[in-house]
Amino acid sequence: MKPAVLFDMDGVLLDSKAAMLATLAGVATAALGRRITIADLPPDAVTTPRVEVLARLGVPNPDELCEVWWNPALATAAGTALFPGVVEGITALRDAGAATGLVTLQTRDRLPWLLPPDVLALLDTAVCQEDAEPKPAPDGILLALARLGSSPKAALFVGDTLTDHTAAFEAGVAFAGAGWGYAGARALTATGARVVLTHPSQIGATLLDLIPGSRPPRQVTMTSH
């Protein structure tokens, strides 16, 4: 069976932290009628559901307001960029015979705003917010594997938050933490992640060594816990 490597997007493939924080501040500013800056957001804003962050700031009906204002605020926010080595790493995985996929909380219509066409072309499937119950539920990971014709035993999920780790565990797939992402290496280790990558350049064919039985083991240059 073909091995599969699945990725979360924000904080793993895409450096979008500044844009997400700016979007939160923009929506809060529009809702409250006074300027909210990134400095006014809670310290854990980037790893907390947006509705909860906005509610803490006193925004009324945050769910409904996000339906109106989130997309325009995100589309005009500056500061998103691929992490270095992402294109080369995913290309190397495909060259090594792996299927690749995305499991993200972003909606499908946002993907072209956030990821360049060459990256989208390298992904065999993309499971978005509207496709499955969001993480930490395992549904999105399992749907991606079903689309790829792969199984949990032949898969790895690379994520950067506790919800990603939980989703991988519930789906029965191997997990690698992206230590450069939203939560950070220390927080991932504290959640029990046994493997935490230290740099996005570690995205590549060596990730297949983390899938039990995917190929003969060899040295993997990453941090294990």
> What is the rounded CA–CA span in Å between residue 207 and residue 156?
8
Strand partners, 99: 4
Q: Tokens standing for 124? A: 């065999």
Catalytic annotation, pick one of 8, 10, 15, 164: 8
Tell me the three-class secondary structure of 101-130, residue by residue: EEECCCCHHHHHHHCCHHHHHHCCEEECCC
Cβ atoms 7, 74 nearer than 8 A: no
> What is the rounded CA–CA span in Å between residue 40 and residue 196?
30
Is 109 considered catalytic here?
no
The Cβ-side half-sphere exposure at 39, using a 13 Å CA radius, reads: 1
Catalytic residues: 8
